[in-house]
Structure 1
Amino acid sequence: MSIDMTVHATAPQPETGSEMDRRAAFCLEIARSAGAVALDGFRNRKPGFGMKGPQDFLTETDAAVERHLKARISAEFPEDGFLGEEGGGAIRSDIWVVDPIDGTANFARDIPHFCIAIAFVSNGETEIGAIYNPVLDELYFARRGHGGTRNGKPLSVARTRDFDSACVEFGWSNRKTNERYLDVLSNILERGANVRRGASGALGLAYVADGRSDAYAELHMHAWDCLAGLLMVKEAGGVVAPFLSLSGLTEGGAVLAAAPGVALGMSEATGIALEAGK
Protein backbone atom coordinates (compact mmCIF):
# COMPACT_ATOMS: atom_id res chain seq x y z
CA MET A 1 0.00 0.00 0.00
CA SER A 2 1.35 3.46 -0.92
CA ILE A 3 0.05 6.98 -0.55
CA ASP A 4 0.89 9.65 -3.10
CA MET A 5 0.88 12.84 -1.03
CA THR A 6 0.93 15.12 -4.10
CA VAL A 7 -2.41 16.85 -4.50
CA HIS A 8 -3.73 15.83 -7.94
CA ALA A 9 -6.55 18.32 -8.33
CA THR A 10 -7.39 21.74 -9.65
CA ALA A 11 -8.56 24.48 -7.29
CA PRO A 12 -11.37 22.98 -5.18
CA GLN A 13 -14.90 24.03 -5.96
CA PRO A 14 -17.48 24.24 -3.16
CA GLU A 15 -19.98 21.40 -3.07
CA THR A 16 -23.59 22.43 -3.56
CA GLY A 17 -26.27 20.88 -1.39
CA SER A 18 -27.57 18.77 -4.25
CA GLU A 19 -24.06 17.45 -5.02
CA MET A 20 -23.52 16.42 -1.40
CA ASP A 21 -27.00 14.89 -1.33
CA ARG A 22 -25.99 12.77 -4.30
CA ARG A 23 -22.75 11.73 -2.64
CA ALA A 24 -24.58 10.82 0.57
CA ALA A 25 -27.09 8.65 -1.26
CA PHE A 26 -24.28 7.05 -3.25
CA CYS A 27 -22.29 6.33 -0.09
CA LEU A 28 -25.24 4.48 1.43
CA GLU A 29 -25.71 2.51 -1.77
CA ILE A 30 -22.10 1.39 -2.13
CA ALA A 31 -21.83 0.52 1.57
CA ARG A 32 -24.60 -2.03 1.08
CA SER A 33 -23.27 -3.33 -2.25
CA ALA A 34 -19.78 -3.72 -0.78
CA GLY A 35 -21.38 -5.42 2.20
CA ALA A 36 -22.91 -7.99 -0.12
CA VAL A 37 -19.45 -8.76 -1.53
CA ALA A 38 -18.02 -9.04 1.98
CA LEU A 39 -20.84 -11.24 3.25
CA ASP A 40 -20.47 -13.62 0.32
CA GLY A 41 -16.75 -13.83 1.01
CA PHE A 42 -17.36 -14.46 4.70
CA ARG A 43 -19.84 -17.26 4.09
CA ASN A 44 -17.78 -18.91 1.35
CA ARG A 45 -14.22 -18.16 2.44
CA LYS A 46 -11.49 -20.72 1.95
CA PRO A 47 -9.42 -22.03 4.87
CA GLY A 48 -6.34 -19.99 5.65
CA PHE A 49 -5.35 -16.35 5.25
CA GLY A 50 -2.37 -14.22 4.32
CA MET A 51 -0.31 -11.91 6.50
CA LYS A 52 0.92 -8.43 5.59
CA GLY A 53 2.94 -8.26 8.79
CA PRO A 54 2.77 -9.26 12.48
CA GLN A 55 -0.92 -9.49 13.46
CA ASP A 56 -1.85 -7.84 10.15
CA PHE A 57 -4.20 -10.20 8.34
CA LEU A 58 -5.22 -10.26 4.69
CA THR A 59 -7.94 -12.22 2.91
CA GLU A 60 -9.10 -12.41 -0.70
CA THR A 61 -12.24 -10.56 0.34
CA ASP A 62 -10.31 -7.44 1.41
CA ALA A 63 -9.05 -7.02 -2.13
CA ALA A 64 -12.41 -7.90 -3.72
CA VAL A 65 -14.32 -5.33 -1.65
CA GLU A 66 -11.75 -2.61 -2.33
CA ARG A 67 -11.85 -3.31 -6.08
CA HIS A 68 -15.65 -3.08 -5.98
CA LEU A 69 -15.64 0.24 -4.15
CA LYS A 70 -12.89 1.77 -6.26
CA ALA A 71 -14.68 0.82 -9.49
CA ARG A 72 -18.02 2.20 -8.32
CA ILE A 73 -16.53 5.47 -7.08
CA SER A 74 -14.36 5.95 -10.19
CA ALA A 75 -17.40 5.46 -12.42
CA GLU A 76 -19.64 7.84 -10.48
CA PHE A 77 -17.11 10.52 -9.45
CA PRO A 78 -14.11 10.19 -11.78
CA GLU A 79 -12.46 13.41 -10.55
CA ASP A 80 -12.37 12.26 -6.92
CA GLY A 81 -9.39 10.68 -5.24
CA PHE A 82 -9.45 7.23 -3.71
CA LEU A 83 -7.42 6.00 -0.72
CA GLY A 84 -7.82 2.37 0.29
CA GLU A 85 -6.10 0.29 2.93
CA GLU A 86 -4.94 -2.32 0.44
CA GLY A 87 -4.03 -0.30 -2.65
CA GLY A 88 -3.22 3.15 -1.29
CA GLY A 89 -3.98 6.09 -3.56
CA ALA A 90 -3.36 9.75 -4.30
CA ILE A 91 -4.47 12.57 -2.03
CA ARG A 92 -6.94 14.99 -3.62
CA SER A 93 -9.09 17.79 -2.27
CA ASP A 94 -12.13 15.52 -2.70
CA ILE A 95 -11.27 11.97 -1.70
CA TRP A 96 -12.96 8.73 -0.65
CA VAL A 97 -11.14 6.90 2.14
CA VAL A 98 -11.97 3.21 2.43
CA ASP A 99 -11.25 0.23 4.64
CA PRO A 100 -12.69 -2.74 2.73
CA ILE A 101 -12.72 -5.03 5.77
CA ASP A 102 -12.02 -3.55 9.18
CA GLY A 103 -11.62 -6.43 11.59
CA THR A 104 -9.92 -8.79 9.14
CA ALA A 105 -8.55 -10.96 11.96
CA ASN A 106 -12.13 -11.54 13.11
CA PHE A 107 -13.27 -12.19 9.53
CA ALA A 108 -10.48 -14.71 8.96
CA ARG A 109 -11.34 -16.61 12.14
CA ASP A 110 -15.10 -16.82 11.53
CA ILE A 111 -16.03 -14.09 14.01
CA PRO A 112 -18.87 -11.90 12.64
CA HIS A 113 -17.49 -8.65 14.06
CA PHE A 114 -16.14 -6.78 11.04
CA CYS A 115 -17.30 -3.99 8.75
CA ILE A 116 -16.79 -1.89 5.67
CA ALA A 117 -15.79 1.71 6.46
CA ILE A 118 -16.20 4.54 3.94
CA ALA A 119 -15.52 8.26 4.41
CA PHE A 120 -15.74 11.16 1.98
CA VAL A 121 -13.37 14.05 2.75
CA SER A 122 -13.63 17.43 1.04
CA ASN A 123 -11.13 20.24 1.58
CA GLY A 124 -9.88 18.79 4.86
CA GLU A 125 -13.29 18.01 6.38
CA THR A 126 -14.93 14.61 6.68
CA GLU A 127 -18.34 15.24 5.17
CA ILE A 128 -19.85 11.74 4.95
CA GLY A 129 -19.19 8.44 6.68
CA ALA A 130 -20.64 4.94 6.55
CA ILE A 131 -19.81 1.84 8.59
CA TYR A 132 -21.59 -1.38 7.70
CA ASN A 133 -21.57 -4.75 9.43
CA PRO A 134 -23.20 -6.97 6.79
CA VAL A 135 -23.60 -9.99 9.08
CA LEU A 136 -25.81 -8.07 11.50
CA ASP A 137 -27.14 -5.81 8.71
CA GLU A 138 -26.29 -2.73 10.78
CA LEU A 139 -25.55 0.32 8.65
CA TYR A 140 -24.22 3.38 10.46
CA PHE A 141 -24.25 6.63 8.54
CA ALA A 142 -23.36 10.25 9.28
CA ARG A 143 -23.22 13.50 7.36
CA ARG A 144 -21.53 16.58 8.76
CA GLY A 145 -24.13 18.88 10.27
CA HIS A 146 -26.96 16.39 9.71
CA GLY A 147 -26.50 13.91 12.57
CA GLY A 148 -25.99 10.18 12.37
CA THR A 149 -28.15 7.07 12.16
CA ARG A 150 -28.08 3.29 12.53
CA ASN A 151 -30.48 1.73 10.03
CA GLY A 152 -32.27 5.06 9.85
CA LYS A 153 -32.65 5.61 13.61
CA PRO A 154 -30.83 8.59 15.19
CA LEU A 155 -27.54 8.01 16.99
CA SER A 156 -26.85 9.44 20.43
CA VAL A 157 -23.84 8.92 22.68
CA ALA A 158 -24.23 7.58 26.21
CA ARG A 159 -24.89 9.83 29.20
CA THR A 160 -22.39 7.99 31.40
CA ARG A 161 -20.44 10.20 33.81
CA ASP A 162 -19.14 7.72 36.40
CA PHE A 163 -16.13 5.60 35.46
CA ASP A 164 -17.33 2.89 37.85
CA SER A 165 -20.17 2.24 35.40
CA ALA A 166 -18.26 3.05 32.18
CA CYS A 167 -17.49 0.50 29.49
CA VAL A 168 -14.81 1.61 27.06
CA GLU A 169 -12.81 0.04 24.25
CA PHE A 170 -9.05 0.43 23.87
CA GLY A 171 -7.57 -0.73 20.59
CA TRP A 172 -4.10 -2.19 20.23
CA SER A 173 -1.64 -0.97 17.61
CA ASN A 174 1.68 -2.57 16.71
CA ARG A 175 2.89 0.89 15.74
CA LYS A 176 3.28 1.73 19.43
CA THR A 177 5.18 -0.17 22.10
CA ASN A 178 3.49 -2.75 24.30
CA GLU A 179 4.81 -0.85 27.31
CA ARG A 180 2.96 2.28 26.25
CA TYR A 181 -0.21 0.30 25.55
CA LEU A 182 -0.12 -1.42 28.94
CA ASP A 183 0.58 1.85 30.73
CA VAL A 184 -2.51 3.48 29.22
CA LEU A 185 -4.59 0.36 29.84
CA SER A 186 -3.60 0.47 33.49
CA ASN A 187 -4.54 4.16 33.71
CA ILE A 188 -8.02 3.45 32.34
CA LEU A 189 -8.57 0.48 34.65
CA GLU A 190 -7.46 2.47 37.68
CA ARG A 191 -10.25 4.94 36.98
CA GLY A 192 -12.73 2.11 37.37
CA ALA A 193 -13.81 1.54 33.77
CA ASN A 194 -14.41 -1.85 32.19
CA VAL A 195 -12.09 -2.18 29.17
CA ARG A 196 -12.71 -4.42 26.18
CA ARG A 197 -11.24 -4.92 22.72
CA GLY A 198 -13.33 -6.04 19.76
CA ALA A 199 -10.56 -5.89 17.11
CA SER A 200 -12.48 -3.55 14.79
CA GLY A 201 -11.70 0.09 15.45
CA ALA A 202 -14.35 1.34 13.03
CA LEU A 203 -17.09 -0.62 14.79
CA GLY A 204 -15.64 0.47 18.13
CA LEU A 205 -16.17 4.09 17.14
CA ALA A 206 -19.65 3.37 15.76
CA TYR A 207 -20.57 1.81 19.10
CA VAL A 208 -19.57 5.02 20.90
CA ALA A 209 -21.83 6.99 18.56
CA ASP A 210 -24.63 4.52 19.31
CA GLY A 211 -24.18 4.62 23.10
CA ARG A 212 -23.14 0.97 23.23
CA SER A 213 -19.70 2.02 24.48
CA ASP A 214 -18.72 5.11 26.41
CA ALA A 215 -15.39 5.69 24.67
CA TYR A 216 -12.95 4.33 22.13
CA ALA A 217 -9.22 5.05 22.16
CA GLU A 218 -6.23 3.83 20.17
CA LEU A 219 -2.69 5.17 20.19
CA HIS A 220 -2.38 5.04 16.40
CA MET A 221 -4.94 4.49 13.64
CA HIS A 222 -4.92 5.04 9.90
CA ALA A 223 -7.44 7.36 8.28
CA TRP A 224 -9.42 4.54 6.66
CA ASP A 225 -10.00 2.97 10.09
CA CYS A 226 -11.35 6.01 11.88
CA LEU A 227 -12.60 8.92 9.73
CA ALA A 228 -16.15 7.64 9.33
CA GLY A 229 -16.42 6.75 13.00
CA LEU A 230 -15.03 10.03 14.28
CA LEU A 231 -17.63 11.90 12.23
CA MET A 232 -20.39 9.69 13.64
CA VAL A 233 -19.35 10.29 17.24
CA LYS A 234 -19.28 14.07 16.72
CA GLU A 235 -22.66 14.03 14.99
CA ALA A 236 -24.08 11.92 17.84
CA GLY A 237 -23.03 14.49 20.46
CA GLY A 238 -19.67 13.02 21.45
CA VAL A 239 -16.20 14.48 21.87
CA VAL A 240 -13.19 13.50 19.75
CA ALA A 241 -9.48 14.14 19.39
CA PRO A 242 -8.25 16.13 16.37
CA PHE A 243 -7.13 13.90 13.51
CA LEU A 244 -7.21 15.42 10.03
CA SER A 245 -5.72 18.70 11.26
CA LEU A 246 -2.68 16.74 12.53
CA SER A 247 -1.78 15.08 9.19
CA GLY A 248 -3.98 12.11 9.97
CA LEU A 249 -4.94 11.56 6.34
CA THR A 250 -1.38 10.80 5.29
CA GLU A 251 0.31 9.69 8.51
CA GLY A 252 -2.43 8.45 10.84
CA GLY A 253 -2.41 9.30 14.51
CA ALA A 254 -3.91 8.86 17.95
CA VAL A 255 -7.69 8.49 18.21
CA LEU A 256 -10.04 9.21 21.08
CA ALA A 257 -13.82 9.45 20.88
CA ALA A 258 -16.00 9.59 23.96
CA ALA A 259 -19.28 10.51 25.54
CA PRO A 260 -18.93 13.99 27.09
CA GLY A 261 -19.20 12.70 30.66
CA VAL A 262 -16.04 10.59 30.42
CA ALA A 263 -14.12 12.45 27.70
CA LEU A 264 -11.80 14.45 29.97
CA GLY A 265 -10.97 11.44 32.12
CA MET A 266 -10.20 9.36 29.03
CA SER A 267 -8.00 12.14 27.68
CA GLU A 268 -6.05 12.26 30.94
CA ALA A 269 -5.73 8.48 31.10
CA THR A 270 -4.54 8.09 27.50
CA GLY A 271 -2.56 11.29 27.04
CA ILE A 272 -4.58 12.00 23.87
CA ALA A 273 -5.70 15.63 23.62
CA LEU A 274 -9.27 16.49 22.67
CA GLU A 275 -10.25 18.99 19.98
CA ALA A 276 -9.76 22.57 21.14
CA GLY A 277 -12.58 23.91 23.26
CA LYS A 278 -13.91 20.43 24.15
Structure 2
Amino acid sequence: MTTTDEGLDARYDYARTIALEAARMGMEYYRNRSGLTIEHKGSDRQDMVSIADKRLEEFIRSRLAERFPEDGFVGEEGGTLDLQACCLWVIDPIDGTACFLNGLHNWCVSIGLAIAGEPVIGVIADPNHDELFHGCRGRGAFVNDTPLRVSEATHVSQGLLGTGTFHKEGKHHFIPFLERLLAEGGMFFRNGSGALTTAYVAAGRLIGYYETHLKSWDCLAGLVLVKEAGGLANDFLAGDGLLQGNPYLVACPGVYAQVEALIGPSIRIGQPERIRRNS
Protein backbone atom coordinates (compact mmCIF):
# COMPACT_ATOMS: atom_id res chain seq x y z
CA MET A 1 0.00 0.00 0.00
CA THR A 2 1.58 3.24 -1.11
CA THR A 3 -0.79 5.83 0.32
CA THR A 4 0.11 7.38 3.66
CA ASP A 5 -1.73 6.65 6.89
CA GLU A 6 -2.97 10.23 6.80
CA GLY A 7 -4.37 9.70 3.31
CA LEU A 8 -5.99 6.45 4.40
CA ASP A 9 -7.60 8.13 7.41
CA ALA A 10 -8.97 10.92 5.21
CA ARG A 11 -10.49 8.44 2.77
CA TYR A 12 -11.97 6.29 5.54
CA ASP A 13 -13.59 9.27 7.25
CA TYR A 14 -14.89 10.74 4.02
CA ALA A 15 -16.28 7.43 2.75
CA ARG A 16 -18.41 7.15 5.89
CA THR A 17 -19.65 10.70 5.50
CA ILE A 18 -20.54 10.28 1.82
CA ALA A 19 -22.19 6.88 2.37
CA LEU A 20 -24.50 8.35 5.01
CA GLU A 21 -25.37 11.33 2.81
CA ALA A 22 -26.09 9.06 -0.14
CA ALA A 23 -28.20 6.77 2.03
CA ARG A 24 -30.31 9.72 3.15
CA MET A 25 -30.77 10.72 -0.49
CA GLY A 26 -31.69 7.14 -1.30
CA MET A 27 -34.39 7.15 1.37
CA GLU A 28 -36.05 10.14 -0.27
CA TYR A 29 -36.19 8.26 -3.57
CA TYR A 30 -37.36 5.14 -1.74
CA ARG A 31 -40.30 6.93 -0.14
CA ASN A 32 -41.32 8.19 -3.58
CA ARG A 33 -40.35 5.11 -5.59
CA SER A 34 -43.75 4.83 -7.31
CA GLY A 35 -42.73 7.76 -9.52
CA LEU A 36 -39.37 6.34 -10.57
CA THR A 37 -38.74 5.19 -14.13
CA ILE A 38 -37.42 1.62 -14.15
CA GLU A 39 -35.10 0.22 -16.80
CA HIS A 40 -33.95 -3.35 -17.33
CA LYS A 41 -30.35 -4.22 -18.13
CA GLY A 42 -30.29 -6.34 -21.27
CA SER A 43 -32.66 -9.31 -21.34
CA ASP A 44 -32.57 -10.03 -17.60
CA ARG A 45 -35.88 -8.81 -16.16
CA GLN A 46 -34.52 -9.17 -12.62
CA ASP A 47 -31.57 -6.83 -13.28
CA MET A 48 -33.13 -3.40 -12.85
CA VAL A 49 -31.91 0.18 -12.55
CA SER A 50 -33.68 3.45 -11.81
CA ILE A 51 -32.80 7.13 -11.91
CA ALA A 52 -32.14 6.83 -8.16
CA ASP A 53 -29.23 4.43 -8.79
CA LYS A 54 -27.74 6.74 -11.40
CA ARG A 55 -28.09 9.95 -9.41
CA LEU A 56 -26.71 8.45 -6.23
CA GLU A 57 -23.67 7.12 -8.05
CA GLU A 58 -23.12 10.48 -9.72
CA PHE A 59 -23.29 12.13 -6.30
CA ILE A 60 -20.85 9.69 -4.70
CA ARG A 61 -18.36 9.82 -7.55
CA SER A 62 -18.44 13.61 -7.86
CA ARG A 63 -17.88 14.13 -4.15
CA LEU A 64 -15.03 11.64 -3.97
CA ALA A 65 -13.44 13.05 -7.14
CA GLU A 66 -13.51 16.55 -5.70
CA ARG A 67 -11.73 15.41 -2.55
CA PHE A 68 -9.39 12.83 -4.09
CA PRO A 69 -8.91 13.74 -7.78
CA GLU A 70 -6.06 11.27 -8.22
CA ASP A 71 -8.26 8.25 -7.42
CA GLY A 72 -9.99 5.95 -9.91
CA PHE A 73 -13.47 4.43 -9.92
CA VAL A 74 -15.39 1.25 -10.64
CA GLY A 75 -19.15 1.74 -10.42
CA GLU A 76 -22.12 -0.44 -11.26
CA GLU A 77 -23.86 2.31 -13.20
CA GLY A 78 -21.09 4.70 -14.24
CA GLY A 79 -18.43 2.27 -15.43
CA THR A 80 -14.72 2.71 -14.83
CA LEU A 81 -12.34 5.63 -14.64
CA ASP A 82 -8.54 5.65 -14.19
CA LEU A 83 -8.18 1.95 -13.47
CA GLN A 84 -4.40 2.39 -13.18
CA ALA A 85 -4.77 4.66 -10.15
CA CYS A 86 -3.29 3.34 -6.93
CA CYS A 87 -6.52 4.09 -5.04
CA LEU A 88 -9.63 2.71 -6.70
CA TRP A 89 -13.13 3.31 -5.37
CA VAL A 90 -15.64 0.50 -6.02
CA ILE A 91 -19.22 1.73 -5.69
CA ASP A 92 -22.73 0.34 -5.70
CA PRO A 93 -25.09 3.28 -5.10
CA ILE A 94 -28.08 1.05 -4.35
CA ASP A 95 -27.18 -2.57 -3.77
CA GLY A 96 -30.48 -4.42 -3.79
CA THR A 97 -32.25 -2.36 -6.44
CA ALA A 98 -35.01 -4.94 -6.94
CA CYS A 99 -35.76 -4.81 -3.21
CA PHE A 100 -35.61 -1.01 -3.28
CA LEU A 101 -38.09 -0.74 -6.13
CA ASN A 102 -40.46 -3.31 -4.64
CA GLY A 103 -40.71 -1.67 -1.23
CA LEU A 104 -38.47 -4.10 0.68
CA HIS A 105 -35.94 -2.86 3.24
CA ASN A 106 -33.01 -4.94 1.98
CA TRP A 107 -30.93 -2.33 0.17
CA CYS A 108 -27.93 -0.21 1.01
CA VAL A 109 -25.20 2.08 -0.25
CA SER A 110 -21.84 0.33 -0.64
CA ILE A 111 -18.49 2.12 -0.99
CA GLY A 112 -15.24 0.19 -1.05
CA LEU A 113 -11.65 1.23 -1.66
CA ALA A 114 -8.89 -0.94 -3.07
CA ILE A 115 -5.29 0.25 -2.82
CA ALA A 116 -2.79 -1.40 -5.14
CA GLY A 117 -5.40 -4.08 -5.83
CA GLU A 118 -6.15 -4.90 -2.19
CA PRO A 119 -9.48 -4.13 -0.47
CA VAL A 120 -8.65 -1.69 2.32
CA ILE A 121 -11.78 0.34 3.21
CA GLY A 122 -15.39 -0.80 3.31
CA VAL A 123 -18.48 1.23 4.15
CA ILE A 124 -22.06 -0.03 3.86
CA ALA A 125 -24.91 2.29 4.86
CA ASP A 126 -28.32 0.76 5.60
CA PRO A 127 -30.75 3.65 6.22
CA ASN A 128 -33.75 1.41 6.83
CA HIS A 129 -32.18 0.05 10.00
CA ASP A 130 -29.94 3.01 10.93
CA GLU A 131 -26.85 0.87 10.58
CA LEU A 132 -23.49 1.94 9.19
CA PHE A 133 -21.14 -0.99 8.69
CA HIS A 134 -17.57 0.19 8.22
CA GLY A 135 -14.02 -1.05 8.47
CA CYS A 136 -10.44 -0.34 7.49
CA ARG A 137 -7.59 -2.79 7.07
CA GLY A 138 -5.80 -3.38 10.35
CA ARG A 139 -8.21 -1.17 12.30
CA GLY A 140 -11.18 -3.46 12.79
CA ALA A 141 -14.77 -3.42 11.57
CA PHE A 142 -17.86 -1.96 13.20
CA VAL A 143 -21.60 -1.48 12.92
CA ASN A 144 -22.09 2.09 14.06
CA ASP A 145 -19.72 2.05 17.07
CA THR A 146 -19.97 -1.66 17.92
CA PRO A 147 -17.05 -3.93 16.90
CA LEU A 148 -17.90 -6.77 14.54
CA ARG A 149 -16.94 -10.41 15.07
CA VAL A 150 -17.82 -13.38 12.88
CA SER A 151 -19.77 -16.36 14.22
CA GLU A 152 -18.14 -19.07 16.33
CA ALA A 153 -20.13 -21.79 14.53
CA THR A 154 -18.26 -24.98 13.65
CA HIS A 155 -20.93 -26.69 11.53
CA VAL A 156 -23.43 -25.44 8.96
CA SER A 157 -26.29 -26.67 11.11
CA GLN A 158 -25.41 -24.05 13.74
CA GLY A 159 -26.63 -20.98 11.85
CA LEU A 160 -27.99 -19.46 8.67
CA LEU A 161 -25.96 -19.35 5.46
CA GLY A 162 -26.49 -16.54 2.97
CA THR A 163 -26.88 -17.77 -0.61
CA GLY A 164 -27.60 -16.43 -4.07
CA THR A 165 -27.10 -16.99 -7.77
CA PHE A 166 -26.56 -14.76 -10.77
CA HIS A 167 -29.00 -15.63 -13.55
CA LYS A 168 -26.47 -15.51 -16.37
CA GLU A 169 -23.55 -17.36 -14.80
CA GLY A 170 -23.12 -20.16 -12.32
CA LYS A 171 -26.78 -20.93 -11.64
CA HIS A 172 -26.36 -24.61 -12.53
CA HIS A 173 -24.21 -24.96 -9.38
CA PHE A 174 -26.87 -23.50 -7.12
CA ILE A 175 -29.53 -26.19 -6.66
CA PRO A 176 -26.99 -29.01 -6.14
CA PHE A 177 -25.32 -26.88 -3.45
CA LEU A 178 -28.64 -26.24 -1.69
CA GLU A 179 -29.42 -29.94 -1.70
CA ARG A 180 -26.08 -30.74 -0.07
CA LEU A 181 -26.48 -27.92 2.46
CA LEU A 182 -29.93 -29.11 3.51
CA ALA A 183 -28.69 -32.68 3.75
CA GLU A 184 -26.14 -31.49 6.31
CA GLY A 185 -28.84 -29.85 8.40
CA GLY A 186 -28.02 -26.34 7.23
CA MET A 187 -30.47 -23.60 6.27
CA PHE A 188 -30.14 -20.84 3.68
CA PHE A 189 -31.02 -17.16 3.69
CA ARG A 190 -31.32 -14.65 0.85
CA ASN A 191 -32.15 -10.94 1.13
CA GLY A 192 -31.29 -9.56 -2.33
CA SER A 193 -28.28 -7.46 -1.34
CA GLY A 194 -24.80 -8.95 -1.57
CA ALA A 195 -23.30 -6.08 0.40
CA LEU A 196 -25.71 -6.41 3.31
CA THR A 197 -25.45 -10.19 3.34
CA THR A 198 -21.66 -9.91 3.54
CA ALA A 199 -21.97 -7.36 6.35
CA TYR A 200 -24.18 -9.79 8.24
CA VAL A 201 -21.44 -12.42 8.00
CA ALA A 202 -18.99 -9.93 9.50
CA ALA A 203 -21.50 -9.20 12.27
CA GLY A 204 -21.94 -12.89 13.10
CA ARG A 205 -25.61 -12.83 12.09
CA LEU A 206 -24.87 -15.32 9.30
CA ILE A 207 -22.24 -18.05 9.40
CA GLY A 208 -21.27 -17.46 5.77
CA TYR A 209 -22.38 -16.38 2.32
CA TYR A 210 -22.03 -18.16 -1.03
CA GLU A 211 -22.93 -16.61 -4.37
CA THR A 212 -22.39 -18.51 -7.61
CA HIS A 213 -21.25 -15.29 -9.31
CA LEU A 214 -20.96 -11.82 -7.83
CA LYS A 215 -19.64 -8.46 -9.04
CA SER A 216 -17.00 -6.46 -7.19
CA TRP A 217 -19.28 -3.51 -6.44
CA ASP A 218 -21.57 -5.90 -4.55
CA CYS A 219 -18.90 -7.19 -2.21
CA LEU A 220 -15.57 -5.34 -2.16
CA ALA A 221 -16.61 -3.14 0.77
CA GLY A 222 -17.95 -6.18 2.60
CA LEU A 223 -14.75 -8.14 2.10
CA VAL A 224 -12.93 -5.63 4.27
CA LEU A 225 -15.51 -6.06 7.02
CA VAL A 226 -15.39 -9.87 6.97
CA LYS A 227 -11.60 -10.01 7.05
CA GLU A 228 -11.35 -7.45 9.84
CA ALA A 229 -14.00 -9.35 11.81
CA GLY A 230 -11.92 -12.55 11.70
CA GLY A 231 -13.54 -14.30 8.75
CA LEU A 232 -12.23 -16.04 5.66
CA ALA A 233 -12.82 -15.27 1.98
CA ASN A 234 -11.94 -16.93 -1.28
CA ASP A 235 -9.63 -15.03 -3.63
CA PHE A 236 -12.53 -13.18 -5.22
CA LEU A 237 -10.39 -10.68 -7.13
CA ALA A 238 -8.39 -13.41 -8.89
CA GLY A 239 -8.21 -13.10 -12.66
CA ASP A 240 -10.53 -10.32 -13.78
CA GLY A 241 -12.70 -10.44 -10.69
CA LEU A 242 -12.64 -6.67 -10.26
CA LEU A 243 -14.44 -6.03 -13.56
CA GLN A 244 -16.10 -9.33 -14.44
CA GLY A 245 -16.84 -10.83 -11.04
CA ASN A 246 -16.26 -14.35 -9.73
CA PRO A 247 -17.77 -17.05 -7.55
CA TYR A 248 -17.85 -15.74 -4.00
CA LEU A 249 -17.54 -17.27 -0.55
CA VAL A 250 -17.07 -15.65 2.84
CA ALA A 251 -17.55 -17.48 6.12
CA CYS A 252 -16.47 -17.78 9.70
CA PRO A 253 -13.37 -19.99 10.11
CA GLY A 254 -15.32 -22.82 11.73
CA VAL A 255 -17.46 -23.55 8.65
CA TYR A 256 -15.46 -22.21 5.70
CA ALA A 257 -13.93 -25.54 4.70
CA GLN A 258 -17.24 -27.36 5.08
CA VAL A 259 -19.11 -24.86 2.90
CA GLU A 260 -16.32 -24.92 0.32
CA ALA A 261 -16.61 -28.71 0.14
CA LEU A 262 -20.39 -28.51 -0.25
CA ILE A 263 -19.97 -26.10 -3.17
CA GLY A 264 -17.33 -28.16 -4.93
CA PRO A 265 -14.66 -27.22 -7.48
CA SER A 266 -16.54 -24.24 -8.93
CA ILE A 267 -15.58 -22.05 -5.94
CA ARG A 268 -11.86 -22.76 -6.01
CA ILE A 269 -10.62 -19.73 -7.90
CA GLY A 270 -8.25 -19.15 -5.00
CA GLN A 271 -7.37 -20.39 -1.54
CA PRO A 272 -9.12 -18.82 1.45
CA GLU A 273 -7.29 -15.77 2.70
CA ARG A 274 -6.66 -15.89 6.41
CA ILE A 275 -6.74 -12.56 8.18
CA ARG A 276 -5.46 -12.19 11.71
CA ARG A 277 -8.09 -11.78 14.36
CA ASN A 278 -8.04 -8.40 15.98
CA SER A 279 -7.40 -8.52 19.68
So what's the TM-score if we normalise by structure 2?
Answer: 0.91
Is the alpha carbon distance of 1:263 and 1:177 closer, same or farther for their aligned partners in structure 2, counting shifts above 3 Å?
Answer: closer
Three-state SS of the structure 1 residue aligned to 2:230 is: coil
Structure 1 regions of 5+ residues with no counterpart? 1-12
Counting only pairs closer than 5 Å after superposition, residues 1-278 of structure 1 correspond to structure 2 as: 14-47=2-35, 49-53=38-42, 54=44, 55-90=46-81, 91-92=83-84, 93-271=86-264, 272-273=267-268, 275-276=271-272, 278=274
Q: Deviations over 1:195-227 (max 9, x none)?
A: 111111110000000011001010111110011
How far apart are 1:14 and its partner, in Å?
A: 1.6
Three-state SS of the structure 2 residue aligned to 1:216 is: strand
Is the alpha carbon distance of 1:277 and 1:105 closer, same or farther for their aligned partners in structure 2, counting shifts above 3 Å?
Answer: closer
Three-state SS of the structure 2 residue aligned to 1:246 is: coil
More off after superposition, 107-116 vs 90-99? 90-99
Structure 2 regions of 5+ residues with no counterpart? 275-279
Is the alpha carbon distance of 1:277 and 1:244 closer, same or farther for their aligned partners in structure 2, counting shifts above 3 Å?
Answer: closer
Is the alpha carbon distance of 1:191 and 1:72 closer, same or farther for their aligned partners in structure 2, counting shifts above 3 Å?
Answer: same
Q: Output the amino acid matched with 1:49.
A: I
How far apart are 1:265 and its partner, in Å?
A: 0.6
Give the whole-Å Cα distance in 2 for the aligned partners of 1:165 and 1:237.
Answer: 18
Asked if the contact 2:209–2:250 (Cα under 8 Å) also holds between the matched residues in 1, the reply is yes
Asked if the contact 1:28–1:130 (Cα under 8 Å) also holds between the matched residues in 2, the reply is yes
Asked if the contact 2:233–2:272 (Cα under 8 Å) also holds between the matched residues in 1, the reply is no
Q: Deviations over 1:224-266 (max 9, x none)?
A: 0011111111100011101223321122101100011111011
Asked if the contact 1:24–1:143 (Cα under 8 Å) also holds between the matched residues in 2, the reply is yes
So what's the TM-score if we normalise by structure 1?
Answer: 0.91
Q: Percentage identity across aligned positions?
A: 37
User: Residue 8 of structure 1 aligns with which residue?
Assistant: none
Q: Deviations over 1:50-91 (max 9, x none)?
A: 211311011121011101001101100111111110110131
Is the alpha carbon distance of 1:152 and 1:59 closer, same or farther for their aligned partners in structure 2, counting shifts above 3 Å?
Answer: same
How far apart are 1:186 and its partner, in Å?
A: 1.4
Give the whole-Å Cα distance in 2 for the aligned partners of 1:28 and 1:208.
Answer: 20
Instruction: Report the number of matched residues.
Output: 266
Three-state SS of the structure 2 residue aligned to 1:208 is: helix
More off after superposition, 242-251 vs 109-118? 242-251
